Amino acid sequence: MQVTPIGTFYGDAIYKYDAPRQGWLFAGHPGRIELNAGQNFEMALRDLEGFERIWVIFQFHENEGWRPTTRPPVPPKGKDRVGTFASRSPYRPNPIGLSCVRLLKIEGLTLYVDEADLLNGTPVLDIKPYIPMADAFPDAKAGWVEEQVGDLWSVEMSEDFAKQNCWIAERSEFDLESFAQVQLSRGNFSKDVFDSSRRRLTVDESAHTGVLAYRTFRIHFSYDESARCVLLQRITSGYSAEDLAPGTEDKYGDKDLHREYVVTF
């Protein structure tokens, strides 16, 4: 069987940890699908604009190999892993993904979408309309997912964090607040929400504080387990003063941004 991509998804999520788990849980992850020219896709898009949501079938292009079991973000009681076919894990025998995204508008061969959990550069294999009466089964049993431990945590910003996040967002494509919402708002304390193996995160349980790494920035937060609340306190640079010295290697091309940031804050 030969499968040829019909287009490419473009968005702000570059690394795997940038993308939300199940895009609909967190609005504000927009992007666009650019279909390939010269294949009569203009005609294929006819009548699609009347649908609020679409199914996007895509390729997990950055994965190598597959795993028979996976550890979900919020595992079921008494289990650490579940079978891949009982999960939404991207590490599958055939690296094919399915996502239901919100369709905002269509301009030519470009589809503007939101609530997407795809990475920038993802090959798109097909598009289908979401039809509620055929695709929604709200009373269907959800297996182990119904036994998941953990509820949504609230994630709030301090005034300092909000100012710092706004400053960074105005000068780059980074959105640290959105990333923190994705990574810290669901699961159990210490094992699920604050899982350092997944999220480049360290936690001081005695002080109820933690640091979440986002690319070359660090998000400092505190938390209240009883209230299930996380407070984003401040942002610091992940570079040391020696790293930011003039003439040092700039692997990610962002050291000028960090130099300005540490002087400002």
Q: Same domain for 138 and 158? A: no
Q: Same domain for 136 and 12? A: yes
Whole-structure pTM value: 0.68
Quick check: is 2 in a domain? Answer: no
pLDDT tens digits, one per residue of 146-162:
776 556 788 999 999 99
Give the mean pLDDT of 12-25. Answer: 62
CATH of the domain at 23: 2.40.30.70
Quick check: is 158 in a domain? Answer: yes
The rounded distance, in Å, linking the Cα atoms of 245 and 123 is 39
Rounded alpha-carbon distances, angstroms, from residue 31 to 28, 116, 184, 199, 214:
9, 7, 22, 23, 20
Q: Same domain for 131 and 221? A: no
Q: Same domain for 21 and 134? A: yes
- What's the structural domain count of the chain? 2
Q: Please list, residue by residue across 82-94, b when 16 or more beta carbons sit within 10 angstroms of its beta carbon and e when fewer do.
A: bebeebbbbbbee
Q: 257: domain range?
A: 154-264
- Residue after which a domain boundary falls, among 125, 146, 167: 146
Angle at 237 between CA 231 and CA 239, to 5 degrees: 145
pLDDT tens digits, one per residue of 169-202:
899 878 888 888 877 876 444 444 454 445 578 8
Strands 201-204 and 154-157, bridge-based pairing? unpaired
Quick check: is 83 in a domain? Answer: yes
Q: Which residues contact 71 (CB under 8 A, 6 or more apart)?
A: 80, 81
Q: Same domain for 132 and 226? A: no
> Hey, what are 243's tokens?
């790293």
CATH of the domain at 248: 3.30.2310.20
Q: Same domain for 250 and 161? A: yes
